[in-house]
Amino acid sequence: MAVAAITPDYTGERLDRMENFNGNQVVYLGWDHHLMFCAPVAFAVQPDTLFSKVLDELIPGAFSQHPEFDRVDWGAVQWHLNGEAFTPQADVALIDQGVDHKSILRFNTPGLDGIAGTGS
Amino acid sequence: MSTRKLSLKDKYRILTRDLEWEYSYRDYREIFKQEAFEGIKITDWSKWEDPFRLTMDAYWKYQAEKEKKLYAIFDAFAQNNGQQNVTDARYVNAIKLFLTGVSPLEYQAYNGFAHVGRQFGGVGARVACQMQSLDELRHVQTQIHAMSHYNKFFDGFQDFTHMHDRVWYLSVPKSFFDDARSAGPFEFMVAIGFSFEYVLTNLLFVPFMSGAAYNGDMATVTFGFSAQSDEARHMTLGLEIIKFLLEQHPDNVPVVQRWINKWLWRGTRVLTLVAMMMDYMLPNKVMSWKESFEVYFEEAASALFKDLARYGIEMPRYAETAILEKEHVSHQAWSIFYNYTHAAAFHTWMPDDKEMDWLSEKYPDTFDKYYRARFEHWRELERAGERYYNPTLPMLCQTCQIPMGFTEMDNPTLTAYRQSVYQGERYNFCSDGCKDIFDHEPEKYVQAWLPVHQIFQGNCGGPDIEDVLGDYYRINLGVDNMDFHGSPDEARWNAWHNLQPAEDKLKQAS
């Protein structure tokens, strides 16, 4: 029983299925231990978006106001995709490297511990 | 014919239990068709003990008396320009949050209790729910009347029902009640009657009403007092429903336990809004969120669940996490609203030095370690004329719909991420509690109207975010939203009191 309902075999409408996003998919981005950004951020992007666009446009658009942003060594960044360690390929489409609808991309920047080292 | 005055006992019997009749030509299950599908077993409705012991005629009389006093005070408040006597104009933002976030829940409660007041086979339960339903309707009315005076002098009050249905953070309380009202009648009673009105109610009303008292808001204090005797009755109904369900059949115990786990978690998530109100929005502080959580949840709940242990009921599953989170949630919630104040119908601000010191004192283990430097950084940006606003849209939890601002309690600077895959689609959550709630009833929560996703789907107007905020949410941009410093609210307040703008004070302090 996937819900307690008066109607037998009740199913709910999937409000966030991908078809509803006009050709886009939702991707979430979070910078670990940098809680000046109060929560991970959400983007609607086309599934064939190259990862380089995430690096060059989405991430700076969301996170460049952090005082440590310019010091990020992008070669040393550790990535997680939906909780698993992940090695992104810049010139490959998101969907072709497993970044599908409502996926979470997290990055960790070793040595950068947020404002005054407090994880902010 | 002699007219005999009924004894109280007879009157009570006639006006409650005697309203029942025999169902002679229709099947009981057809009349009360929502009574069985939740897996609750009722063997004998006559064992229900009426919690209110109040008849309708007495009810009207008491409420009318209270109403008379209440409206006399509202009038006096208005005539004496009570809006000028609150501690400071920042306080009024707590009331904006209450009117847009909480008062519409009173209306939802009115609907919900009216509905379940039809569904139960036992007449005692039906009458009690109908009475509570009337109370809730009265509460929403008196709250609107109390706050309508502020609407004449401050921004952000004007479209509260419209906003409740649409604005991103108001989807948090709205979806909480939608969840309860779309559940079966017994779950609704455990959700609202017991978990909310009995266990958590003091954490909602005491902070707001004491906050009002400490900050010169007589109108709000007075409706608080006026609702107090109603709330006391609601608590007895909440406790009665739990004891009744647990005594009716042992098979009810695991079902009720799951509902308690679910609704106390849902409730503490919603109360995050109250937490930040207490710690950040009251110029004169009552006590910290942490202190009130200790008094009204930890102490009260542990006594209650000790009492319920004889039925086989245990402490709610996520209580441990909620207790650890008392050190963090108010700061995390204020960070969320500070980030997205341009998208809110009330103002936020950074605490001044004195307020920062109060937070350090009240949260010795967390405030300086995790939050002070962040806030000081934001304050410096503001002083430099670059007040920080988050330019993106936040990721939301599928269940509680709050931006994912909560962290792992064993690693408090790491965002807590949980995920489920259901029928090939990913769903994301802020906590184990929210994930478990989804996993148990995914067909319910796949329907969540998540404000951020709705904006992306084009269902909230656009194309620009300003269009969503201005046209779809009806926020008066540049007036209702943005930082308190520099707001029309602040300017009016300063003009009334011949005060220097806070911005100038900030500059002098730096």
Domain interval for residue B161:
51-509
pLDDT of amino acid B229: 83
Residue pointed to by tokens 């002070």: B372
Nearest residue to B335 (alpha-carbon basis) of A118, A98, A3, A102: A118
Q: Report the SS3 class of residue A16.
A: coil
Q: For residues B309 and B249, is the Cβ–Cβ distance under 8 A?
A: no
Considering only CB atoms, B446 lies closest to which of A14, A28, A40, namely: A14
The residue of chain B nearest to residue A18, with distances taken between CA atoms, is B425
Cβ contact, residue pair B395, A114, below 8 Å: no
Statement: residue B510 has pLDDT above 60: no
User: Which of B339, B450, B456 lies closest to A38 in CB terms?
Assistant: B339
**How many other C-beta atoms can be found within 10 angstroms of the C-beta atom of residue B276?**
24
Domain tally, chain B:
1
- Average pLDDT for B2-21: 83
* Chain B residues near residue A40 by CB distance under 8 angstroms: 394-395, 404, 415, 417
- Give one word for B156, left, alpha or beta, with left for phi > 0 and alpha for psi -120 to 50: left
pLDDT of A38 reads 98
Q: Coil, strand or helix: which one is B464?
A: coil
Classify residue B25: in a domain, yes or no. Answer: no
Residues of A in contact with B403 (CB under 8 A): 38-39
B13 pLDDT band, cuts 50/70/90, is confident
Give the integer Cα–Cα distance in Å for B266 and A48.
Answer: 37
**CATH code of the domain covering residue B458:** 1.10.620.20
For residue B230, being part of any structural domain is answered with yes
Q: What percent of chain A has pLDDT over 90?
A: 95
| CB contact A53 to B (< 8 Å) | no
Whether B28 maps to a domain, the answer reads: no
What's the DSSP call for residue B382?
Answer: H
Amino acid type, B112: G
DSSP conformation class of B190: I
Nearest to A81 by CA among A24, A45, A28, A17: A28
Name the percent of chain B lying above pLDDT 90: 85
Q: Residue B447: count other Cβ atoms within 10 Å of its Cβ.
A: 16
pLDDT at B502: 60
In a domain? residue B391: yes
Mean pLDDT, all residues of chain B: 94
Q: Considering the domain boundaries, does residue B398 fall inside one? A: yes
Q: Are B419 and A101 in contact (CB under 8 A)?
A: no
Distance CA B393, CA B452 (A): 7
The 10s digit of each residue's pLDDT in B231-274 is: 888 999 999 999 999 999 999 999 999 999 999 999 999 999 99
Yes or no: say if B187 and B116 are a contact pair by the CB < 8 Å rule.
no
Q: What is the ipTM of this complex?
A: 0.98
Domain annotation covers residue B266: yes
Asked whether B290 and B326 are in contact (CB, 8 A), the reply is yes
Closest by CA position to B233, among listed B139, B313, B122: B139
Which chain A residues touch B168 with a CB distance below 8 Å? none
Residue B9 lies in a domain: no
Rounded to whole angstroms, the Cα distance separating B506 from B510 reads 6
B216: left (phi over 0), alpha (psi -120 to 50) or beta: left
The shortest C-alpha distance from A3 to chain B (Å) reads 4
The 10s digit of each residue's pLDDT in B14-51 is 888 888 888 999 999 999 999 999 999 999 999 998 88
Which residues of A, range 19-38, sit inside 8 Å of B by Cβ?
Answer: 20-22, 24, 26, 28, 30, 32-33, 35-38
For chain A, list the domains and their CATH numbers: 18-117 (3.10.20.560)
Instruction: Using the predicted structure, report yes or no on whether residue B431 has a pLDDT greater than 90.
Output: yes
Asked if A92 has any chain B CB less than 8 Å from its own CB, the reply is: no
Look at residue B6 and tell me if it is in a domain. Answer: no
The partner residue sitting opposite A21, judged by closest CB among B33, B370, B457, is B457
Question: Which tens digit of pLDDT belongs to each residue from B81-95?
Answer: 999 999 999 999 999
- Taking contacts as CB-CB distances below 8 angstroms, the residues of chain B near A28 are 395, 428
Mean predicted confidence (pLDDT) in A19-41? 98
Across the interface, do A35 and B390 touch by the CB < 8 Å criterion? no
Name the minimum distance, in Å, from the CA of B4 to any CA of chain A: 47
Chain B nearest C-alpha distance from A90 (Å): 22
